[in-house]
Amino acid sequence: MLSGYLLLVLGCISAALVIWRLSTGLSRYIRHVSCLTNDTQTYFARAGSKWSWFKKNVQYSPIFSKRHNREFQLSSAINVGTLPTRLQLVFLLGYFSTNVAFCVMGIDFSKPVGASATVFINRTGTLAVANMIPLFLMAGRNNPLLYLLGISFDTFNLLHRWLGRIVALEALAHTLGYLYRTAATKGWSVAFEGIFKSDFLIYGFVATASFVVIAIQASSVFRHAFYEIFKILHICLAIASVVGLYYHLGPKGFPQIKYLYPVMVLWAFDRTARFLRVAYYNFGSGGGKALVEALPGGSTRVTVTMARPWFFKPSQHAYLYFPSVSLWQSHPFSVAWSEEADSPSGEKLPMDRRDILAMKKTTVSFILRGRTGMTGNLYEKAASCIDGKMVTRCLVEGPYGGMHQMHSYGTVMLFAGGVGITQAVPHVRDLVIAYSNGMAATRKVILVWTIQSPEHLEWIRPWMTEVLGMEKRREVLRIMLFVSRPRSTKEIHSPSSTVQMFPGRPNIDTLLAREMEDQVGHMGVSVCGPGALSDEVRRAVRNKQYNGAIDFVEEAFSW
């Protein structure tokens, strides 16, 4: 009964978030349509005091003053993770407290051990299985709640990790409770020996052991240090836990088995959807071939030819598989560029829409920063080839994301650090085209990109060349490049008044204040890059909430 209430609580929270998403979406649509022909947008530039307070102190607030996405690192090899936001912390503490209360409420521990322990064992076991439903749902890449609730995959990933810890603690409490009840009458030796004398207990022990090992190996220290091993072991242990629970609950007809069936359905659905995505976009019609180019700064530019058209939106990402580099591994990367080109076969003229689409070849491009594991191996392999280029097999799983569109903002500021530029470039192209066609409320787009060396400009040179040649680009777009480690002042030169280069790091507060002095309409601020940059932009946006209407969007992949 309590497990049902727990799932009901999650359902009510989800319903509230759906209403929130619909209301904010309607507000953005009204603003977008109202400002298409309005060059001042004064009404939408004003900040409401109550709404500003909520965004500053609740919606965008870290737990303390500033730190959220910047990782805690004990050394270059030991990473202990990041902090949640204030709103995320409230939810996590509330949900954890609810689970603890449901485990012990109404139990009279003054009664004999047998009676009280039995209730405790049943409670913890039932809650552990029930919590596996949202646990597996939040782990899926094809989670429907991503779009229904408008919550980022990064947030769901955080919730997945903490739900996993709750499940592991409840499973451990369930097992220890059983051992304690048996030991109270027969002794600890009999209690431990009894586990291995019954299939029912053996399978339950396998499930609990799997949960506990997952909780340990999924901690940030082990996850970041041995990610490739972590991922394979994580999947294997998850399968072992589900199999163990099935044979623990099924043969005896326990009612908790009803919670396990949705878990298996969710896992099968996500895996099937992922396979179908890969098959549809990569197999046939020459798809799945990738040009890999080694770039300055240890990065690679990967351009993949898709088998079928890809309907691209800014802020989308995809998972890349390189069978020749890492057979089973896939990693998420922002889609930096996508375009279509005709590829006529010369055999026959197109007769209908299907033939025309078949002649279109979609290419999608990514920038991968070489680190350890797959990305480092890929860079070394490409760098060893002639001209630093090679062609290899690449499977693209996606697209995912694309929820944060900026057309309804009169002023858009895009902050990027390093390869975080891959998230900003599609927005720049999209907004310039929309402005030129009169389809966006946007009147000002400011791109602020921080790089370590001018050589890193090569990462996006072909794409920015195309953007800078677009119609009406000078009317709406300004670019500011900050080089944090210039070798010489001669490297710092500004090509024009709309494309400027500066030494050092940007002062986010100063840049934001300057743009808000001449703000047009509602301002949208987006950031993608290192955690320190994201936290600095978040702090600046929070501090400017009362100066004008301003929203904040953070693009991040935590792993």
pLDDT in tens, 193-237: 888 888 999 999 999 999 999 999 988 888 877 777 888 899 999
CA 86 to chain CA centroid, Å, is 18
Local structure of residue 86 (DSSP, 8 states): H
SS3 478: strand
CA dist., res. 327 & res. 310, Å (int): 24
- The whole-number pLDDT of residue 186 equals 86
Mean pLDDT over the full length of the chain? 90
- The whole-number pLDDT of residue 487 equals 83
CA dist., res. 437 & res. 428, Å (int): 14
Helices (H), 40-152: 42-45, 49-54, 86-104, 113-139, 145-149
Domain 409-552 part of CATH 3.40.50.80:
yes
Mean pLDDT of 65-91: 82
Mean pLDDT of 393-410: 92
The neighbour count for residue 150, using CB atoms within 10 Å, is 16
| Cis before 399 (ω within 30) | yes
Q: Map out the domains of the chain as residue ranges.
A: 75-281, 284-343+354-399, 409-552
- The whole-number pLDDT of residue 120 equals 93
pLDDT in tens, 439-448: 999 999 999 9
Residue whose token pair is 């919550």 = 151
| Residue type present at position 345 | S
Q: pTM, whole model, 2 decimals?
A: 0.91
- The whole-number pLDDT of residue 346 equals 46
Sequence-ordered strand ranges (E) for 323-458: 326-334, 337-342, 360-369, 389-393, 395-401, 411-417, 444-451
Q: Is the pLDDT of residue 437 over 70?
A: yes
Q: Is the pLDDT of residue 476 over 90?
A: yes
Which pLDDT band holds residue 321 (cuts at 50, 70, 90)?
very high
- The whole-number pLDDT of residue 351 equals 52
Q: Is the pLDDT of residue 383 over 70?
A: yes
- The whole-number pLDDT of residue 350 equals 53
pLDDT in tens, 96-137: 999 999 999 988 887 888 788 999 999 999 999 999 999 999
CA dist., res. 418 & res. 412, Å (int): 19
CA dist., res. 170 & res. 211, Å (int): 10
- The whole-number pLDDT of residue 167 equals 97
Q: Is the pLDDT of residue 341 over 80?
A: no
- The whole-number pLDDT of residue 358 equals 55
Question: In the CATH hierarchy, which top-level class contains the domain 284-343+354-399?
Answer: mainly beta
- The whole-number pLDDT of residue 342 equals 61
pLDDT in tens, 262-316: 999 999 999 999 999 999 999 987 788 999 999 998 999 999 999 988 888 999 9
CA dist., res. 546 & res. 523, Å (int): 13
Domain pair 284-343+354-399 / 409-552, same fold = no
CA dihedral (154, 239, 266, 156) in degrees, to 10, reads -10
Q: Which residue, among 388, 452, 399, 451, has the nearest Cα to 426 in the 3D structure?
A: 399
